Every structure is written in structure tokens, then in C-alpha cells.
Structure 1
Amino acid sequence: MTPFFDPSRCPSCSAQLPPNPVRCPSCGVDLTGPTVTELVSTLRRADALVTRMRADVDVAAVPQLRAAVGQQPDASVGPPAVRLPIGLPDVSPARSWFAGRSVGVILLVLGALCVLAAGAVFIAVAWMQLTLVVRGLILIVITAGFGLSAQLALRRGLQATAEVMAVIASGMFVLDVAAARRAGLPGLADLSTAPYEIVAGVLLAAAAGGAAFTVRRQRHWLWTLDGAVAFGMARAAVGTLRLSSHDYALSSVTLVVVTSLLYVAFVRIRFPIAMWSALGVVCGAWMIAVAVGAGDAANHVGGDLGRVAASWPALTAALVAGLWSTLLTPLAPRRIASWMCLSPVLLVFEIVGWSHGWVVGCFVMLVGYVVAALASDRVGGTWASAVAGSALVLGLSAVFGLLPTAVELATRMGLALDGAWRAPRGLPFDLVPGDVGPWLLPLTALVVLAVLPQIRIDGERFSLDQRVIAGVFLATLGVLPMLYGAGFWLSMLALVMVAAVLLGAARLWRNDHLLLLAWAPLVIIRLCSYYIDPVHDDLADPLAWTLFAAVCLAWALSERRRMVRAGFLVAAGLFALAGVAQWLDFAQAPRSIHGFVIVASGSLGMVASQSLVRTAINVETSTRAVGEGLSVTWVLVGLAMAGSSTSHRALELTVAGVAAGITAYLSEDRRRVGWVSGVLLTFASWIRLADNNVEAVEWYTLPAAAALLVYGVRRLRRDSGESSWRCLAPGMALALVPSLTVAMDEPTTWRGLIVGLASVALVAVGVWFRFAAPFALGVVATALLALRNIWPVAAFVPRWSLLFVIGGVLLWAGMTWESRVNDVRTASRYVRGLR
């Protein structure tokens, strides 16, 4: 088989080659360089792989040959010699394209930088020492030499070299023009900075463009020449901007027109870099023209026609963009051009409209919004999205025009919070009363929301419920009396009526958006209700809380969704709590009974929750839990409001304890609340006894404890399965705990001795009858008394004894642990031995 690599043949045309060839005599290809090296490595690698494949086939055939020889018993010859795999020459792996060419590219770039730096230094240092003729010859020779070098490199297929030579030639051309100006060349020396930039940019673009056309005729392309054209165009554009003497107005418009034409030209002659650069220059010049036109219109002093005339740069840029929207073929660029056409017009319209003040400007924006919205439904194709977007912008501007009205409303609410109900003397943000138009609030809300569904973008319309539109309009009408300076109660009455209508509509149509709208006037009422009327005192505050509680309760009773109903019930309970507190203040009730009223109300709510479950059929568990949670909240708040009066605190604890006991009696699943009842009643008794300075507490606790014990023993005898904690613990705790508390202060008195004996007796009863309650209570009481008696002498106990006790306990725990571990291991061995 013929090998892949044959050094005597040309890899391109397979012609016979002479020894040590540099080029093929037949086809003329270059046989040196990184490309040929990579090709030779690849071909040698292919030959090595083929050799290994053949060796693998020969090795696989050896067992078959040995088997054939074993079947011939008379064979006197051994097996044929097997050809072993030959040693292959070490071939270096083929390098990638980047590895083969990156070094050359880097060297070319460094060389180009060095040459350009040398040219710049030469022009700056030695240029003035030469005559004009010599300078011109140097310029022509160097620039032309690098240009010819680029052409020769292209002919030999050296693309990277040609690109670098083109960069050097373009850079030298720029340096040549600068040197010619410094040398006083006629036509360049007399130019100022801006005209010189234009001339230099045009010359560079023309020279690079001509060279690019020459290269293209040879079926090659140099990207650096395309970039040089783009650079020259950008340089000329910067110079054009510097020519303007009036805020870049004329120069920016000129750039928009000229670079637009250049963009078309570059598209037709297929200069991609120059094309995109021209597009970028067009966009930059367009933004400058729009900014200049808008600034002139805003700063113009005079009528509206004068403002429009002063904005001619922006309008001209819009006209050019409009022409492009009709000339371009792709849809996306046409839409962008339509946006660029309408944006300056919209900006000028905004400037002219807002120049007449907030009220007129808001009305003008509203009219423009209606026109643009209706036009978006009529215009199709390219301009549809731009017109619809303009309508949205005008609608937002109209809403922004309501800022003075919103500021005055917020200011009036702030004055109400401070206790005054009057018109504000001044508005923030340098606003004056003439900037406020309350009538614009409902008008703008109605028009913007009603016309919004008429806007169409790409065939799609905005969808908005008409009932929501009517609700927003009604909500804005509710604040008009307040904005026009009506009295406090008249303003609040209007807001209440609006909220009632919105709540009724929300319930009738089951619309949550209307429910949210209804809360807007309610929130305003709540904020303004801090206002103190000189006749009715602070009646507004409790009325507001009552209104909130009534609204939440009414909505909760008519709501079917479980979580929403629970949320409104919680809100109603909390608002009612605040309302009760405010009504007590309004009635000038003594502060000492505030907590009692709230605790009593919460206790009644707890009992009512249980009664409601017993009488009603459709009451859900969540509703009951909400009622109980609110009742507990009321009780805790009432207890916190008791103040320093111990008698009132005892009374409140008694009421709460009785309510807890009734709750445990009414509901079987709330039996554990009886423990809470016992704790509350016990604390109430202690507080009452402490308040009356009673020392013999047993006269008050033992009769009740005896009654509880009699009842518990009888119940325990009737039902042997009952728990001793439920039957015996309340009576025993009532008899033991108060006396134990007093005995802790005097452990060596007769009371301490009797309590200790009673505790030991309880332990004995618990052990004998196997009751947990007396055993646990006796152990705890005995331990407390023992610790109380040990405490005075604990300071005299040596430290080593404490360490000895701790060490003994730890040793006992360790031995117990090891014993239990051994038991577990024995059990596991037994289980593993089962079959």
C-alpha cells in the first residue's frame, strides 16, 4: 500500500520533486512554512496509525496458526515465525492552527507597533531637518512600500501579514497627513482643528476605500482597510460636530443626513465594519440633535410656535428617521426607525404642553393620550407599536400631572394627623395652589382607564374590567370634598359612602379588585380620624376603629373562602379591640376599669366560641380557633392594662379563670383548659390574700381543696380508668402549694413541719395506691423543703464533697450505660442466632 507521506511527491499535485525543494516546479505551491510542517506531521501520523492496525491483525492470527499445527501429530516443524509489531518512530503530535500561527501573528503585531512608533518619533524629531522634497519622497516611499507589501503578502496567501501591512500603511498615512500639516503644506497648514479633522478623515476613508476596492478585484479582502474607512468616517464626524457654533444644532443634523447616506453606500459596496460604524454615528448624531432641539424648545421664551420652531433639530432628526422607516426592508429596523421618528415629536409635544403649567399640561397630555390611543387602533404594520408606545407615554405623563393634587391630599392628611382641619398654607416641591386641579383626578382616572383597552400592540389589546374602571372613578370622586375644603364630617361621610358602594359592588360581583379599592377611602378615614374636633372631642377615632371592625366582620360573615374569612375575622377582632379602648377613653371611664372591661369581653368571647360550636352546625374549626385566639388576645391585653392595682388584677384573673373553667366544661376537646383555669384562680387568690395581708392562708385554701378532693375521689371511684392528675391533682395542689409557698420563707416553723409531713404522706399514698399525682406533688414539695433547709448551710460544706458527689453520679451513670450496652449486644447476638 502506498504510504500517505511521500517526500518525493508534491502533496498538492503529486508531481516528482527534486532534492530539498522550496517550491513545486509544477504547481508552484510553497513547500516551507508552518502549514507544510503541520501537513507533514499529519501524514506521518496517519502512516503510523496504519502500521499499528496491521500489527494488531498479525497478533490476532497467532492462536489460529498454533491450533492448526497441533492437529498434525507428525509435524516435525514448529509454527511459522510470527511477525512482531515493529517499533514505530516517535512522531510529534500535530499542532493546532492556533499553535502554528499564533507566534507569527504576535510577532507581526509587535512589528507593526514598533514601525508605527518609529514613524511617529521620526516625524516628531527629524522631520524639520529635511527639505520639503525629501519629506514628500519619504512619505510616498514608506506608505507605498507598506501598501505594496500588503499586496504581495496577499498574492502569497499570507493573510495575517497582509492585514498587518495594511494597518501600518493606514497608520503611516495618518502620520503623513499630520506631518504635511506641520510642514506647512499648502491647503493643510491654514486649516483649523475642526476642518483639518474633516479633511484628514475624508482622505483616510477615500484612500482606504480605494485600496479595498483594488484588493477586492483580486478576489481578496482586508478587514483592516474596512476598519480604516470606518475610522476616517468617525474622525470626519467628530470634526463636523466641532464646526458648529450654536450647540451642535446644524452639525448634528448634517451628520444625521450625511451618515445616513453613507450607511446606504456602505451597504451597497459591502463594507461591513464601515456600515455598522456609520449606523452608530447616525444614532449618536440623532441623539445629539434631539437633545439640542429639546433644550432649545425648553429654553425658548415666547409662544408655542416659537418653541416648535426652536426644536427644528429634533424634528429634522425625526423626519430622517421617518424616511428610513419607509425605505428599510426588514421589519425590526423599520420599527426602530418609527420609534426614532415619533420620540422627538413626542418630546417636543411634552415640552410645549407642560410649559403652560400643571393643570393645562395634564389636560393636554390627556388629549394627546386619547388621540394616540385611538390612532394605534387605526395604524397598522410598522407604526403600530410606536404609536401605541407613544399613547402609553402620554398616559403616564397625564397621571404624573396629578402630582400636585396628590401632594395637597397628603398634606391635608398630615395636618389632620397633627390635629388641624384646614387648607395647607404652602405645598412642598415649590408648588402653588394654582397647580392643583382636583377635578383632574376623576377625569384623568376615567379617561386613562377607559381608553386603555383601545390601545393595540401587535394585534393585542389591553384588557380591563369596566367595573374596575367605574370603581376607580368612584374612589377618586370620594376625595373631592376633602380637596375642595369641605368640613371634616362631610368629607368623612363622602368617603364612607364611597367605601360602602365599593364594598357592596365587590360582594355583589365577587370582585377582589373592588374590595382593594374600597380600602383606599377607609385608610384615608383612618388616618384623618386622629383629627380632634373642638365640639365632639375625639369621637372620630373610636368611630373609625368601629367602622373598620364592622366592615371586616360583615365581609367575613359573607365570605366563602376559608382563609380569607379567617383573615377578616382576625382583623375585625383586632380593630374591635382598638375601638373598645378608644370608646373607653371617649367615655372618660377610669383607667382602672379599662383592663377589666377588655378581659371581661375576651372571656365572653371565649365562652361564646364554645357555645357557637354547640349550637351552630356549619361552624368550621378554623372559625372557632380564630375566635379563641382573639379572645386570648383580648384577655392578655386587658391583663397588661391592669396597671398597679392589685385588686383589679385579682378581679381580672378571676374572670379569666372562670371563663377558662366554663370553656373546659362546655367542650370535651378543651378539658385541658381547666388547668389554666386552676392556675388563674390560684394566682387571683394569692394576689387577693397578699393584698389583704392574710397570713393564715389555710383558712381560705383548705375548704376549697377539700371540696375538690371529695369530688375527685368520687369520680376516681366511679371510673377506675380516670387519671389521678385530673381527679386528685387540683385539690392536692390547692391544699399544698399556698402553704408550701409561705413555708419556704420560714422553713423551721410549725407550718414547715406540717407541710413536710404532708408531702411525705402524699409520697406514701402515691406509692401505696400507685397514683402519679400525689407521688409527684409529694416528691416535689419534699425536695423543695429539703433544698430550702440545706441552703443556709451549703456555704459551710467542703468543696471536695460536691466533687465527690458529682464523681459518684458520673460513675453510676457510666456503669449503668455499660451494662445497658452489654444487654443490647447480648440481645443482638441472640437475634442473629435465630433461624
Structure 2
Amino acid sequence: MTHIPPPAEELRLLDAELWQLDARRAQLLARRAWLVASLQSVRPVRPALPPAAPRPEASAPRVQNVLLLLGGMLLTVAAIAFTLVSWGHLGIAGRALVLGTVTLAVLAAPVPLLRRGLRSTAESVAGLGLALTVLDAYALHEAALPGTDGTGYAAIAAAVLAALWTAYGRGLGALRLPVPAGLVAAQLPLVLWAVAAGPDPYGVATAMLVTAGLDAVLAFGVAAGAVRVTVTAGAYGLGGWGVLTAGWLSWTATGPSAAARAAALLAFAAVIALVAAARLPERAVATGTAVAGGLLLVAAGGGPLRVLLSAGWVVPVHLAFGVALLAAVRAHRLAEPVRQGLLRASAAVQALALLWAVPLVAVTLAGPPGWAEDPWSGGTVDARAAVTVHTPWPPYAGQALLVLVTVAGVLAVLAVRHETWRPRARTGALLLTWAAWLALPAVLELPYVAGLLLVAGVTVAAAFLPTPWLALATSLHCAFLSLATQSATLTVLSALTVLGATASRRPRLAPVAAPAALGYATALACATGAAAGWQPSHTALLVLCVPVVAALAAGRLGASPATLPVEAAGTAAAVLALGLAVTDPPMLATVLAACGVIAAGTAARPERRRAGYPAAALFLLATWVRLAAWEVTTPEAYTLPVAVCALLVGAWRRHRDPLTASWTAYGPGLAAALLPSLTAAWSDPEWTRPLLLGAAALLVTLLGARHRLRAPLVLGGSVLVLDALHELAPYLVQAADALPRWVPPALAGVLLLAVGATYERRIRDVRHVREVLGRMS
């Protein structure tokens, strides 16, 4: 049984317990404050960081090198000033003592500097010593050998200094400057000796090339570094100058001896380049060097023969040597970069030769179209005169033809032997052979007929090649070439028409051959009409035979790729026929009608239903042109045929689709029938046209109301009202003149009162009319 104390006792117990809790909370808070204070006193205080020091902009070694370089330069300048200015103030003994002492001291100074590890300082002092040796050589010439030749002395001094500097650098070993400096000095002795020997450019070029060859040998004998860079630069630099000099000597040579000497120099440079290319490790650099070597061989071979032959044979001779380089392709002992370089050099020579032969091809192809300006005016011409209508004949045409044949032969051989290059080489050989055959009659100055027959043979042969466009280009050239005489034009165009029709039987050639045959047939029709003396409008009837044939052929071709080109050719012929007949309205009407028949026949094919629209337009134009030719000025003669056709089409369409709106079905036809007549009726003083127009408009309105058609009702009613107003207008004017002036305002007021009185009923009637019209179709 649970004991429950009385209320006073229970309150006392609660107060005692709350007091204990407060005392415990105060104790815990005090302990917490002490712990926090203890932790704050133990935590170390971080000192403030000092500001970061600025970074140096240059490293210590770099500053050291700059200072050493500046110091060496200043000492060198001082030495030069002393040698040039203060030299004369000293005697011979003093001069020798000063120069010898200073030079030896400076050259010896790098030894202790290297022992102390001051390599950069030693390099600077050694550079100063090398400069002092140059000044010593100059001072020696000015003091002891003033009468000797300066160039010869410079050659000897350069050789001596090159040897001394190289030995000095080899002796010290740790220095990088003396040996490259010695190699730089070694580039001069041979060239200076050649200059000192006399004004012989052949000797100077030989010295340059020999020095370049020695540099190349040395470059492959040393490891990579400053020495190899120096001799490589010397090889390319002196070699380039030597090649340029030898090339200039070969170009300006006037005799066999001079040309042979220049060729020997070029051949020597080529050998150096090819040997270097065989040993160069970089593939791209080696191939480029081999290309240069191959071009130098071509120049060396063609130079002497250029002097012996005429100017026209310069390019063919160099082309022959360029083709000879292809023998390297089969020389498997040669390094691959060398073989590739010689192959590219040969290709470059052949490309340049073809560029030289471009004028011959351009004149051959671009000359015959000039006959189109004045056809059948050639008279008796040869094949060359047939292609030079307005263009001059290029020089050296025979040699250019030889170039085309040679390169074509090379490409043919390449196409046979190399599978990778076969497609491109075959195409190139085919194009060059084609150009050569076209140019052959003009180059040989064959008779006109013989040249034309040769070109026609090329056309026939090209028709069976895998490229139909080549055959088309050849046939165009033959067609233009035949414009020189009438008989040739008719014969060639007939043959080309037959050839195109025959070739179009092959599906692969049909897209090109079929429209080409139609085009030549069109040209033949025009030429036939001109030869017969017909008027252009009568020739148009003959030209119309081509669109007929095109439409029939397109119907038989179906979905063939040649269908669209054939239709395009037929359309072009039809447009030409219209252009020929435009000056003769009766004949133009006939041609338009014939074109409409052709278009209507085309529209009979399911996939060409849309051709019915141009057929209808052509028939309409034919009718209008015929009426204009008859001098018919009545507008209904022009509009009623159109209106009847449009209404029949609208009725047919509404029959097929009853949901078609009356504005779409009958609106165009009714507008064409009524509106032009309404315009004419307003200016017609007679009563016949307004009466007939009103009757027709009334009939249309009644039919619209009977069948509940909006377009006939609105158009017929509007025209009827306007026509009636036109007829009543004179009487209204007379009545207005007879009435007093107060009558019109009075009538207007009465009308407004009447309308206002019956406004609601009129609104209801208007809504009723709108609803009726809305329910109509």
C-alpha cells in the first residue's frame, strides 16, 4: 500500500529537492568556467607572419652569365680600341710584348678558373682570348706583312686560327666555345683562297661546295651538340650558296665548256645531298634533302644540253632526266628516304613540264568555240587555223605535245606496276593522252578534214571509256570544231546524234549520252534550217521534233536515272523552239499548242500528273497568241476559254471531293468569266455587252441560290448589281439634275428615319441572310 504524505509535507520535500538541484547546477557551471580558463592559458599564441619577400626576377646563374658576357665584350672592345688607336704609339718590341703577354695571359687564365670550378668565367675569358688572337693576326699583318694580299692572308689566318682554336678547345676539354669557334673559322679558308686566286666564280662555288661536303662528313662523325649544330649550319649555308652560284652559272653559260663546268658543280652538290640524305636520322629532313639532290641531278644533266639545243628543247631535256630519276624506285639498295626523295623530285619535274605545256592544251580546247560567233566562215583552213580563231598559237607546240605524251606514258607505266597509285595514275594518263590526241592535228598542221576525222575518232573511242564526261567533252570539242564549214557541221552533228543514241543503250552511259544526243539533235535541226534558208520561226517546227522524241524516250525509260536528264534536254529544246518562233505570232501559237500537246502526253504518265498544269497554260497561251494574231480585241474571247476550262476542272474536283468549297472550285472560273467583262462593260457605250453580262450574272446568281453555293451567289449577284448600276447611271444623273436641291437631303432623311424605325427587324434580316450564306458551301 503506497503512503501518500499530506500536502504540507509533500511541498516541503519538493522545495528541498529543487534546492539541491540548484546547488549542483551552480557547482557544475563553476567547474566549466575554470576548465575554459585553463585551456585558454595553455594554447600557444601564433605570432604574426612577416610580409613575403619579393621573388627575384632573374636567377643567380643568369645574372652571372650576363655579367660575364658584358665584361668580355667590354674587354674585347677595349682591346680593339687599343689595337686600332694606340698601336702606333709603341715600338716593335713594345707591341710584340704587349700583344703576346696579354694574349697568353688571357688564354692561360681559364686553366686556374676551371680548377676552381668557375666554368662560366672561364668561358668568358676564353672568348676574350679568341678575340685577341684575331686582333693579333690583324696586328701582325699591319706591322710585319703590310704588302701581302689581304684576302690571301685572311685565308691563311683563318686556317691557322681554326687549327689553334680547335686545339685549344680540345686541350682544355671543359670549355664549349673554342671548338665551335674554330669550326666557324674553318668555313672561310677555302672560300677566301678561291677569291684570292682570281675572279673565278667557278672556283668560289667549288670552294663553297667542298667546304659544305667536309662539314657534312664532320657532322656525321660527331655526336649531337654545339659542334654538330655548327657544322650542320655550315653545310646547309655554304651548300646553299654554292648551289645558287652553280645554278646561276649554268643558266648564264654560253658555251659547252662553261655549261659542263657548272653541271659538274651541280652534280657534286647533288652527290653531297644524296649521301647526306642516306645518313640523316630524321625521315622528313632526309626526304627533303633527297628531293633537293634529285632536282640538282636534273639540272646538272640538262644544263649542257640546253646550250647545244634550241630554247624549245630545254623543258623536254630536263623532263627526260626527271623521268630517269624513276629508276631509283627499283634500286632497293638505296635508303627509303632517298628513294622517296628522288621519286618526288621526278614528280616535281614532270609537274613543271606539264605546266609549261598548259598553253597548248588551253588553245586547243578554248579556240574552237570562237566559231560560234561567225559559223561557216572558215573556208579553206587547216587544223591549226581551225583552233586558233581568236587566240594566238603558242610557241614550241611540238615540244609541248612531246611533254604530254611522255608524262602520260610515265603514268601509264606507274598504273601498271603500282597498285596503290593505279586509279589516280590511270586517270592522269587518260586525261593527258586525250589532250595530246586533240592537240595532235593542230600541231602537225593536218588538213581540216583530216584533223576533224581524227578528233571524231577520239570521240568514238572516248564513248567507250569508263568516264562518260570525257566523251561528252570530246564531242563538244568536235562540234565546235565543225562550225568552220557548213558541210562539216551537218555531218558532225548527225554523227554525234547517232553516236549519242547508240551509247545511250548502255545503262552506265545513258544519263550522259541520251541528253547529249538530244542536244546534238537540236543543234542539227537548227543547222538544217539555217542551211535550207528557212526563217527561224519555221526552223522551230523542226526543233520541236526533239521534245517529242524526248517525251517518248522518257516514257520508255521509266524510273531510269536517265529519265530526268532526257526530260530536261527536251524541255530545253522546247524553250529554244519558242524563242525561235517568238517573232512570228501565228507560228508561235502553233509551237505553243504543240508544246501543250507534248506536256499533256507527258501528264498521261502516272508519275508526271503535274505536267497537266503547264499543258493547260500552254494551250491557253496558244489560244491568246492566235487571237492576238487575228487582231481580236474582245476580252471575252480571251477569258471565256479560260473560264470554261477552270469551271470544268472545278466541277470535276467538287465531284471527286464534295467537301471542296465553292470558292476553290468555281471562284477562279467565275472571276475569269465575269470580272474582265464587267470592266469592259463600264467603258462600253453599246448595250449588247452589259445586257449579256447581266443575263449571265443573273443565271449564275440563280444557280448559286438553287444549289446553295456561296461563290456563284456572291460573284453573280455583285456583278449583276454593278452592271445594273452602270445601266441606270445615266438616268439617275438626269433625274438628279431635274430634282430640286432640297430633294436629295429630304430623301436621305426619310431613309434614315425608315431605317431607324425598323432597325431591329433589319438587323434580324441581315443575320438571317448571313446565316443562309453561312450554310451555303
* TM more than 0.5: yes
Query: Normalization by structure 1: what TM-score?
Result: 0.64
C-alpha distance in structure 2 between counterparts of 1:548 and 1:722, whole Å: 53
Deviations 1:382-411 (A, max 9, x none): 364566567657867987897898699679
Alignment of 1:4-83 (within 5 A): 78=35, 81=39, 83=43
Question: Is the 2:113–2:121 contact (alpha carbons within 8 Å) kept by the matching residues of 1?
Answer: yes
CA contact (8 A) 1:143 1:172 kept: yes
Q: Which residue among 350, 366, 372 is the counterpart of 2:302?
A: 350
> Which letter maps to 2:670?
M
Matches within 5 A, 1:193-342: 193-216=150-173, 220-222=174-176, 224-236=177-189, 238-258=191-211, 260-261=213-214, 264=217, 272-287=225-240, 308=260, 311-317=263-269
Deviation of residue 278 (structure 1)?
2.9
Q: Which residue of structure 1 aligns with residue 458 of structure 2?
A: 498
1:376–1:455 CA contact under 8 A, matched in 2: no
Matched, 1:585 2:542: no
Give the equivalent residue in structure 1 for 2:673: 735
Q: Which amino acid aligns with 1:494?
A: L
Q: 1:656 Cα shift?
A: 3.4
Which structure 2 residues correspond to residues 175-186 of structure 1 after superposition, within 5 A?
A: 175-181=135-141, 184-186=142-144
Amino acid at match of 1:185: A
What is aligned with 1:529?
A: 482
Q: Give the conservation status (yes or no) of the 8 Å contact 2:211–2:238.
A: no
Any idea what the Cα deviations from partners look like across 1:741-792, whole Å, max 9, x if unmatched? 656977999968987998899799879967686589789999999xxxxxxx
The one-letter amino acid of 1:436's match is: G
Q: Is 2:149 the counterpart of 1:192?
A: yes
Q: What do residues 288-343 of structure 1 show as CA deviations (whole Å, max 9, x unaligned)? A: 5556666666666777x8964674434455566677789x5869698888777765
For residue 558 of structure 1, give the secondary structure of its aligned residue in structure 2.
Answer: coil
Q: Secondary structure at the match of 1:636?
A: helix
1:720–1:338: structure 2 CA closer, same or farther, 3 Å change rule? closer
Q: What TM-score results when the alignment is normalised by the length of structure 2? A: 0.68
Q: Distance in 1 between matches of 2:461 and 2:74?
A: 84
Alignment partners' CA distance in 1, 2:699 and 2:61 = 103
**Is the 1:353–1:364 contact (alpha carbons within 8 Å) kept by the matching residues of 2?**
yes
Query: Deviation of residue 92 (structure 1)?
Result: 3.1
Amino acid paired to 1:653: L
Q: Pick closer, same or farther for the CA change 1:589–1:155 going to 2, 3 Å.
A: farther
Alignment of 1:657-806 (within 5 A): 657-664=596-603, 666-667=604-605, 670-698=608-636, 701-702=639-640, 705=643, 709=647, 713=651, 716=654, 720-721=658-659, 724=662, 727-729=665-667, 731-736=669-674, 738-739=676-677, 742=680
SS at match of 1:381: coil
Amino acid of the residue matched to residue 487 of structure 1?
P
Aligned-pair CA distance for 1:740? 5.5
**Matching residue's letter, 1:735:** A
Encode CA deviations 1:152-204: one digit per residue, 9 max, x unaligned.
Answer: 655555555444444444344434443444xx3213x2333422432343344
Higher helix share: 2
Q: Quick one: distance in 1 between partners of 2:219 and 2:319?
A: 44
Take 2:513 and 2:457, find their aligned partners in 1: how far apart are those partners?
Answer: 21
Establish whether residue 632 from structure 1 lines up as the match of residue 580 from structure 2: no
Q: Tell me if structure 2 keeps the 8 A contact 1:602–1:632.
A: no
Are 1:604 and 2:556 an aligned pair?
no
Distance 1:193 1:276, change over 3 A: farther
Q: Give runs of aligned pairs for residues 613-632 of structure 1, distance below 5 A.
A: 613=555, 616=556, 619-620=558-559, 623-632=562-571
| Aligned-pair CA distance for 1:450 | 5.0
Aligned equivalents of 1:155 and 1:782: distance in 2? 127
- Structure 1 unpaired stretches of 5+: 1-69, 533-537, 786-835
After superposition, the Cα gap between the structure-2 partners of 1:412 and 1:190, relative to the gap in structure 1 and judged at 3 Å, is: same
Bigger shift: 743-752 or 264-273? 743-752
Change (3 A) 1:677 1:709: same
Structure 1 segment 810-825 matched on structure 2, within 5 A: none
Deviation at 1:646, TM superposition (A): 3.3
Match for residue 829 of structure 1? none
Aligned Cα root-mean-square deviation (Å): 5.5
Give the unaligned 5+ runs of structure 2.
Answer: 1-26, 724-777
Displacement, 1:590? 0.6
Q: Is the 8 A contact 1:412 1:422 kept in 2?
A: no
Aligned in 2, Cα 1:378/1:397: closer, same or farther, shift over 3 Å? same
More moved, 392-401 vs 442-451: 392-401
> Residue type of the partner of 1:541?
T
Query: Separation in 1 of the partners of 2:358 and 2:655?
Result: 80
Change over 3 Å in CA distance of 1:337–1:632 after alignment to 2: closer
1:95-494 aligned at under 5 Å gives the runs 95=55, 98-140=58-100, 143=103, 147=107, 154-155=114-115, 157-181=117-141, 184-187=142-145, 189-216=146-173, 220-222=174-176, 224-236=177-189, 238-258=191-211, 260-261=213-214, 264=217, 272-287=225-240, 308=260, 311-317=263-269, 344-354=296-306, 355-357=308-310, 373=326, 376-382=329-335, 384-385=339-340, 388=343, 419=378, 421-422=381-382, 431=395, 436=398, 444=406, 447-452=409-414, 480=440, 483-494=443-454
CA spacing shift, 1:495–1:260, aligned 2, 3 Å: closer
* 1:591 Cα offset (Å): 1.8
8 A Cα contact 2:384 2:446, kept in partner: no
Which whole-Å CA distance do the structure 2 matches of 1:463 and 1:700 have between them?
Answer: 63
Greater shift after overlay, 206-215 or 335-344?
335-344
Structure 1: distance between partners of 2:346 and 2:669 = 81
- Look up the equivalent residue of 1:489 and give its one-letter code: V
- Partners of 2:606 and 2:661 in 1: CA distance: 15
Aligned equivalents of 1:545, 1:737: Cα separation in 2 = 52
